[in-house]
Structure 1
Amino acid sequence: MEFNVKEKVKDYYGSIAKEVMEKKGGSCGCNSSCCGDVSNTSMIYDLEYLADLPEAALTASLGCANPLVLAELKEGETVLDLGSGGGIDVLMASKYVGEKGKVYGLDMTDEMLRLANSNKEKMGVENVEFFKGYIEEIPLPDDSIDIIISNCVINLVEDKEKALKEVARVLRPGGRIAIADIVQLKDVSAEIKTMAESWVGCIAGTLKVDEYEKVLKKVGFKDIKIEPIHVYTKALIEDIIASKHFKQDIDINWDSLDSAFAGANIKAIK
């Protein structure tokens, strides 16, 4: 590719965290379910669990669904959130697992980690830890996590197999994943696959459902369930890409993108 996906994603989401911390409005400017803003956070999450979260955590919420519903967390479990951002899923998960549990948040962006730790301090939670790293190289020991959650992040990783292999490595035997992600439902042009805008918009890095399932099986998962729940219309995808405010001279066949992608719930067991 002609651009560094990881750096493009890091720069974009780092800028969002900066805006939130500087209180310049603080949303990602995206009105889609791909990278939500504070206006739709209450539609994704149970209001009961949003009640005492810092406003900055809500403002920096960039997910596409509520992975905690999929996770069915239990008291005392150890949880890892991949691409934890401002910390909203980690902080809510800390309530489910209780004082005997532990929730880790992994993020590659310094600005998001500062924001997440600030939110953690405001909440006064002690069973939460945020740390820097990449999903392809998770800095945790083998067989150390009960459940891994992620919210619209795996699609942003270039090497899905390497990332999911790491996910399997750190999970304990019988451990599970509960991931909200974007999947591809039909073929799209090669141009879309190389657009920086579509990478940070959660589109170009997606896998088809059968490809996703194949990778999960290959790295050691079973009982795999991938359920597309929100199909993206042409208008919605136009909004996603336009909201990034990037300029790129490319002729897009928007009709070909209609219903080509969907938000999906993904569950599997190691």
Structure 2
Amino acid sequence: MVATVDTVELETKVKEMYRHVAQEPGGNYHFELGEPLALRVGYDADRLKNVPTGAVESFAGVGFFFDLAALTRGETVVDLGSGSGMDAFYAADYVGSSGRVVGIDFTLEQLEKARKLAAGAGAAQVEFLEGRIEAVPLPDASVDCVISNGVINLAPDKNVVFAEAARVLRQGGRLAIADIITEKPLTEAIVCNADLWASCIGGAAEQEIYLQAIESAGFTIDTLRVNTYAFLSDQARNASAKYGVKSVSVLATKSAF
């Protein structure tokens, strides 16, 4: 029998943790937050100046993928698990006023913060919708690029997430993400630990299984890159060292059928 996490407990833990990330970015977490992290993983300092400070301070991503995404003016982008809006605002700088960026999140405090930041910045092309990344509230074939940063590992059923990404993408659309995966299978104790799931470790899939899930959804993987990223707490660091937990950036294209 495959070990599974209590999904109700997991959702509660995830919402609790990321509520704190939105409201208390200076708090203590298993992971780093903010501008120093963003710069370390590859974000451009000049482009970050165009992102609201409140979004940058609550950034909890695990890597950089915008060089892979190659966003252009006028494109439509959806950010799965958009949090306080850092990547959505960063994407808006690429697509411009003629483009559209939609953030999807289910933590109300993150949504509230992101919406206030968007209104304050006058970012009319950016909107944030309440929803789940397993059921994206957008029409079929309506998006040019799907992005996500350190969020898909939180989903118990990653196959459904990638299938939804494929559904909303136009033919030839791109999936550009950063996420946490593992080199070795995690133990039952880790997989069943909702706290470690919420910290982006317990839900990490093995690399081969993760990539297979992307391909099974109808994508062709173009790029896989290992990122420079490290957790902060001893518990998280120990799990990372023992099981080969690592951050990767992936670019995949929706295949023609």
Do the two structures share a fold, i.e. TM-score over 0.5? yes
Deviation at 1:207, TM superposition (A): 1.2
- Which residue of structure 1 lines up, in the alignment, with residue 16 of structure 2? 11
1:36 and 2:33 correspond:
yes
In the alignment, structure 2 segments of 5+ residues that lack a partner are none
Counterpart of 2:50 in 1: which secondary structure? coil
Q: Can you list the C-alpha shifts for 1:23-77, whole angstroms capped at 9, x where unaligned?
A: xxx2352474xx5334423333111111133221111111012232221111111
Among 113, 124, 127, the alignment partner of 2:125 is 127
Counterpart-to-counterpart distance in 1, 2:203 and 2:167? 23
Q: Is the 8 A contact 2:178 2:247 kept in 1?
A: yes
Deviation at 1:126, TM superposition (A): 1.3
- Which residue of structure 1 lines up, in the alignment, with residue 250 of structure 2? 266
Paired letter, 1:154: I
Instruction: Map 1:126-145 onto structure 2 (within 5 A).
Output: 126-145=124-143
Counterpart-to-counterpart distance in 1, 2:140 and 2:222? 21
Aligned pair count reads 248
Counterpart-to-counterpart distance in 1, 2:234 and 2:35? 17
Change (3 A) 1:28 1:95: same
Paired letter, 2:14: V
TM-score, length basis structure 1: 0.85
Counterpart-to-counterpart distance in 2, 1:51 and 1:83? 22
> Taking CA–CA contacts closer than 8 Å with sequence separation of 6 or more, which of the two structures ends up with the larger relative contact order?
2
Q: Which runs of 4+ in 1 moved over 6 A?
A: none
Deviation at 1:142, TM superposition (A): 0.2
- Which residue of structure 2 lines up, in the alignment, with residue 118 of structure 1? 116
Counterpart of 1:258 in 2: which secondary structure? helix
Counterpart-to-counterpart distance in 2, 1:67 and 1:43? 13
Paired letter, 1:205: G
* Percent identity over paired residues: 35
TM-score, length basis structure 2: 0.89
Paired letter, 1:262: K
Change (3 A) 1:257 1:190: farther
Change (3 A) 1:123 1:211: same
Among 216, 223, 226, the alignment partner of 1:225 is 223
In the alignment, structure 1 segments of 5+ residues that lack a partner are 20-25, 243-253
Paired letter, 1:69: D
